[in-house]
Amino acid sequence: MTNGEEAEVIQTPKEPISDTAFVVLNDYASGFFYDMKYATEDNFLKKAVYDCPECMIRKEVADGLIQVNDSLAKIGYHIKFFDCYRPLDVQKAMWEIYPNAKYVANPYTTGSIHNKGGAVDITLVDNQGNELDMGTDFDFFGEEAHHAYQQLPDTVLNNRKLLKSTMEAFGFNAIRTEWWHYNYTGSSGYKVSNFKTECD
């Protein structure tokens, strides 16, 4: 079922669970928005590779995301998810199409923090679900998506800064090349997983 560990998946918690158990975020917490790209054909693979449009993540990561979302909600914004936990087999499919470690983690070395349930791909939306302008689409492989790229309108730079500063305030770290990707502090220590969930 998994590569490296047996996956404990909690859909609706009824009693205390371990911080490293996987939870289905939509069952675990409310207030988020979702557009799970890899459950659709709207991604760079041009095909759906997830059976379900679910965001699965480790419980302690979910708890951090709830804190972020609560903070953003005070100023009228919310997190919208593009990707969460990603099975290792999906990572391999991505690598076959785009074997560039600058943008796609090599599944045959350390893999991605997504494969460990410790990373999320996100953007910000307003109370109506409208996405804030981040300057590029999700999964844009180019310098314009880098955090250091400054040749963008002030509105875009401010939107990216808001997302980054809020995520970092609650234990998440950005990566250099993708404005949408955040790893939870300490999540590199999780084991790689390869389980898939089936839709109800």
Sheet with 77-83, strands from edge to edge, namely 33-34, 77-83, 119-126, 178-184, 172-175
Query: Is 51 a known ligand-binding residue?
Result: no
Partner residues linked to 78 by β-bridges: 125
Query: Is 114 a known ligand-binding residue?
Result: yes
CA 163 from centre of chain: 13
Which residue among the candidates 8, 41, 144, 178 is catalytic per the annotation? 178
Instruction: Say whether 96 is catalytic.
Output: no
What gap in Å lies between CA 148 and CA 157, rounded to an integer?
A: 10
Q: Which residue has the tokens 């300057």?
A: 135
Query: Is 35 a known ligand-binding residue?
Result: no
Residue 141: both structure tokens together: 């492989």
What gap in Å lies between CA 180 and CA 69, rounded to an integer?
A: 15
Catalytic (active-site) positions = 178
| Binding-site annotation, residues for Zn(2+) | 114, 121, 181
